[in-house]
Amino acid sequence: MNRPSLHWSRRKFLGLSATAFLASFAKACTPAASNSTPSLRVHSNQRFLMTADGQPFFYLGDTAWELFHRLNRDEATLYLQDRASKGFTVIQAVVLAELDGLRQPNPEGHQPLYNNDPAQPNEAYFRHVDYIVDQAEALGLYIGMLPTWGDKWNQKWGNGPEVFTPDNAEIFGAYLGKRYRDKPIIWILGGDRNPETELHFAIIRAMAKGLQRGDQGRHLITYHPVGGSNSAFWFHQDDWLAFNMVQSGHSEADTPNYEMTEANYGLQPVKPTLDGEPCYEDHPIGWNPDNGWFDQFDVRRAAYWSMLAGACGHTYGNHNIWQMWQPGRGPISAARTPWQEALNHPGATQMGYLRRLFESRPYTELVPARHRQRAGGRECGRQDRAGRVRARPRAHRDDGIDRDLQA
């Protein structure tokens, strides 16, 4: 299928990774720690996010799915300090974790539930979660908290077991909502699963209802789907869904994630959107090391493609960090770098440059420049691994004045 060729600035917006540019932004991308985490809401233009005090909020996420489950307190603090120093604003982590999170205890020896019952949470486990949430707050970070990974309500693969019903999903949601009502939280439902039955829909909507009852509607809620999928497919009309999340995933070397971003941009009612799980740095392409590995270019390209198509932010991921892999743990999908070492992979630092570049302009006034298109050529795009050249999306001011967004 022929994909749209999207024009980009002659100023070579995506070419601003030269040494001089990086040096000019390096200092700005190391923010001071802050315990100021005001509540979040959807921007008045319905395209972006903002804080309760009226400041634009750039969602720059990191996938740390196993943070609560696999890291002890010292390790969690190290991880959070590193991500804050690199300019991240949101840490996406799962309460009932993917990697046998119901049966395998956390580093303090606690499982999250008694009898695998969501209506019977284990207070000791949640004190560990509390500690990590508090550390994130002290650093000015928000937690994108998934109540559960999807195998606990739709076990198409993974460890499971399925433990949720609509009744206990609402109870568990209300428990979490009340416990973290006054904390810097963004709720993320789903957990790499799509709803397929009426029961699945009922569970998700019941959990959303419980979260809103528990936190009195103080926090935004979104939904994390399977790779190649989009929360808008099922929940765009649901009032609880504050913004859409897509997952462009890890299956191809040049997935045009801007297409889903652009599709969501045209939906009614208008809601913000972002790619909540693009290709991970140091992940084998298509889960097969013979295909090569996604690198800093791949994660950087996904970020700029989606942002210039109208996203409200972006999520970075590192294949070793989401699972907190280290020697002695069985690697998932050929993880090969200890997570502490992977913290310094270059793609993570470059996400901070992305954020600072957009924040240096009135980015909430930008809209995708669909009316400015041309065929991709060598002068306006970088070749992918197959030798093809892709043009990049361009953004312009909502008042019709083109913005090159150069430094």
Mean pLDDT of 236-258: 97
Write out the E strands in 64-101: 90-96
**C-alpha dihedral (132, 133, 135, 136), degrees to nearest 10:** 120
pLDDT score at 393 = 53
For residue range 88-112, what is the model confidence (pLDDT) as tens digits?
999 999 999 999 999 999 999 999 9
Confidence band for 127, pLDDT divided at 50, 70 and 90: very high
> Is 10's pLDDT higher than 70?
no
Least confident of 32-46, 171-185, 265-279: 32-46
Between CA 83 and CA 137 the distance in angstroms is 13
Between CA 249 and CA 182 the distance in angstroms is 32
For residue range 166-181, what is the model confidence (pLDDT) as tens digits?
999 999 999 999 999 9
Average pLDDT, the chain: 87
pLDDT score at 377 = 35
| DSSP result, 103-144 | TS--TTS--SBSTT-TTSB-HHHHHHHHHHHHHHHHTTPEEE
Is residue 92 classed as helix, strand or coil in its secondary structure?
Answer: strand
> Is 332's pLDDT higher than 60?
yes
pLDDT score at 352 = 98
Mention every residue, 6+ apart, whose C-beta is less than 8 A from residue 73: 128, 131, 132
Amino acid at 2: N
Cβ atoms within 10 A of the Cβ of 132, count? 21
pLDDT score at 371 = 60
pTM listed for this prediction? 0.87
CA 207 to chain CA centroid, Å, is 20
